[in-house]
Every structure is written in C-alpha cells, then in structure tokens.
Amino acid sequence: MEGELANLGKYIGVGLTAFGMGFAALGVGNVAGNFLAGALRNPSAAAGQTATLFIGMAFAEALGIFSFLVALLLMFAV
C-alpha cells in the first residue's frame, strides 16, 4: 500500500501496539508482586523459587515483546 492514508493507518496501528507493552508490564508486575507477597510470607521457600519467578516473568514479558515485534513489522516490513 502507498500513500498518506496508508501511512496514517500504519502509524495508528503502531501506536496501538504500545498498549500491548503496557499490558505486558502489568503482567510482569503481577508476577513479581505475587512472588514478593509469597516470599514475605514464607521467606525460607523463596530462594528455591527464583527460577520459577524468572520463567514466569519471561513468559509474561515475551507477549509484550510480541507486540513490539508487531510494531516493528508494521513500521518496517508492511
């Protein structure tokens, strides 16, 4: 597609993908916050679960990165 209108739509779409990053941030914060809440209740069990924490954060974050990828594709590849 060419033209001003197509570019307009493209930029609007790219802007909308930024919401995806925001929601991913909510997800990561949720994981970290719940981990902290659990860790404060039972600090002795917290050390063994750091790996799980990172895996959870990675999964939550990956979806935000996907929205970033969509933005990049819209900007550069479409």
Q: Which range of residues in 25-33, 36-44, 68-76 is near another protein by CB under 8 A? A: 68-76
Q: Report the nearest approach of another protein to the CB of residue 43 (Å).
A: 19
Instruction: Compute how many other C-beta atoms are within 10 angstroms of the C-beta atom of residue 26.
Output: 11
Which of 46/68 has CB closer to another protein? 68
Q: Which stretch binds another protein (CB under 8 A): 26-34, 37-45, 63-71?
A: 63-71
